[in-house]
Amino acid sequence: MNIQGHAALVTGGGSGLGEATARELARLGAKVAVLDVNLENAKRVAADIGGAAFACDITNTESLQAAIDGAAAAHGAARILMNIAGIGSAKRVVGKDGNAAPLEDFAKVINVNLIGTYNASRLFAAACAKLDPLEDGERGVMIFTASVAAFDGQVGQQAYSASKGGLVGMTLPMARDLAQHGIRVCTIAPGLFSTPLMKQLPEPVQASLAASIPFPPRLGKPEEFAQLAAHIVTNTHLNGEVIRLDGALRMAPR
Ligand SMILES: NC(=O)c1ccc[n+]([C@@H]2O[C@H](COP(=O)([O-])OP(=O)(O)OC[C@H]3O[C@@H](n4cnc5c(N)ncnc54)[C@H](O)[C@@H]3O)[C@@H](O)[C@H]2O)c1
């Protein structure tokens, strides 16, 4: 699909990988709606790229539907959904105090990263399936943002890895399910990227993480993620696939 002129939704578009993707899609001519729980950040990005900002919690159906409808009123129904909103977590199953990890922490990460992504995707797909088909019968495309932690999660990453592994597992059935509507589904599994999240870590920790990447031995740039996300939109034969974007990194146990 050509990006030029189409409406796009970017969840988590107020920061990091989502912000870079919103900027790249706008540069390529998309009408971009930035959806984020952090409205201030969403507004900052949207103002910069001539897009629209919506306060949106992907775990809340009402809030999501309002944002999708608001974006459609501003730009027309979206043909592109970039699911990038997500949260991290690290928690030992058995804590230093000998107690079991709180179940709520596990449930929260699954709720945002996995269920929230599914929630945005199903609402987007229902609206997108009603649009006229483009070339090849294509109606739209969506991307999930997993992580290399879906495959080589580290100690304490049970919830995060399970949530991202869930996205990996959902990719093919979703692509098969939505094929009849001409909607493609692909997943990007990023390695270590230099986002505000990562920049909170002390400099030496960032350097040692960067050195663990075979090549190039540096953190990924959010623009590199955005480049791949945009490519997936434009390459109609990419479907039902998970792509690692990690400089050949394989995470160590800890
Ligand atoms: N940075 C990395 O190295 C890396 C690696 C692998 C995977 N990822 C994944 O990439 C995605 C983006 O990560 P990032 O590093 O850019 O993080 P980030 O914290 O900079 O951005 C995430 C954005 O999502 C928003 N968000 C969080 N919960 C939300 C919700 N319930 N509804 C709507 N918006 C919500 C936040 O407000 C924030 O703007 C996440 O899914 C993360 O798991 C990041």
Q: Give me the architecture of the 7-245 domain, per CATH.
A: 3-Layer(aba) Sandwich (3.40)
Question: What pLDDT is recorded for position 202?
Answer: 82
Length of the chain: 254
* Mean pLDDT along residues 101-128: 98
Report, in angstroms and rounded to the nearest whole number, the Rg of the chain calculated over CA atoms. Answer: 18
- Contacts of residue 175, defined as CB under 8 A and 6 or more positions apart, other chains included, come to 184, 185, 186, 239, 240
Cα(209) to ligand 1 centroid in Å equals: 19
Ligand 1, CB cutoff 6 Å, lining residues? 11-12, 14-18, 36-38, 41, 56-59, 84-88, 112, 116, 145, 147, 190, 192-193, 195-198
Question: What pLDDT is recorded for position 206?
Answer: 83
Handedness of CA 206, 209, 211, 213 (dihedral sign): negative
CA distance 130 to 139: 9
Helix (H, G, I), strand (E, B) or coil at 89: coil
Cα(18) to ligand 1 centroid in Å equals: 7
| Catalytic residue (choose from 160, 166, 187, 189) | 160
CA distance 165 to 189: 10
- Contacts of residue 33, defined as CB under 8 A and 6 or more positions apart, other chains included, come to 7, 8, 9, 10, 13, 46, 51, 52, 53, 54, 67, 70, 71, 74, 75, 78
Angle, CA 116 vertex, CA 139 and CA 100 arms, to 5°:
150
Chain segment 8-41, per-residue pLDDT in tens: 999 999 999 999 999 999 999 999 999 999 999 9
Chain segment 59-79, per-residue pLDDT in tens: 999 999 999 999 999 999 999
Asked whether 148 and 244 are in contact (CB, 8 A), the reply is: yes
Chain segment 197-227, per-residue pLDDT in tens: 788 778 888 888 899 999 999 999 999 999 9
